[in-house]
Amino acid sequence: MYYIRKRLEISASHYLKLSYDSKCSELHGHNWIIHVYCRARELNHDGMVCDFTTIKELIQDKIDHTCINNVLPFNPTAENMARWIVDTIPECYRADVQESEGNLAWYEED
């Protein structure tokens, strides 16, 4: 099995739709650190698991310097964003989404 990891740094804002009162319901920003983990049993015709540039285009280029709520069709919690990344990149099996120091969520396929 072949593995790669891509680290992305994203500056973006969001607000959360929550069932309780929270300051996170107001528009605010983060300097997100995202790790995208991909794997493949066989390398593609270019000798790669997945092109690092493709990961950047699909994730960073879509949400960097945006209000994430205006780009993604779900409540942009770190957990939901991690799931979206795994669902977006075919070779991805895990995504870590750190919205601030000490606050990390990840999603990993079974």
- CATH number of 65's domain: 3.30.479.10
Mean pLDDT to the nearest integer, 81-91: 98
Q: Which of 89, 82, 104, 96 is nearest to 57 (CA)?
A: 89
Q: DSSP code of 86? A: H
Contact 40, 100 (CB under 8 A): no
Q: Considering the entire predicted model, what is its pTM?
A: 0.96
Q: What pLDDT score was predicted for residue 110?
A: 84
* Structural domain boundaries enclosing 90: 2-108
Overall domain count for the chain: 1
> Dmax of the chain from CA atoms?
51
* pLDDT tens digits along 13-47: 999 999 999 999 999 999 999 999 999 999 999 99
Mean pLDDT to the nearest integer, 61-88: 98
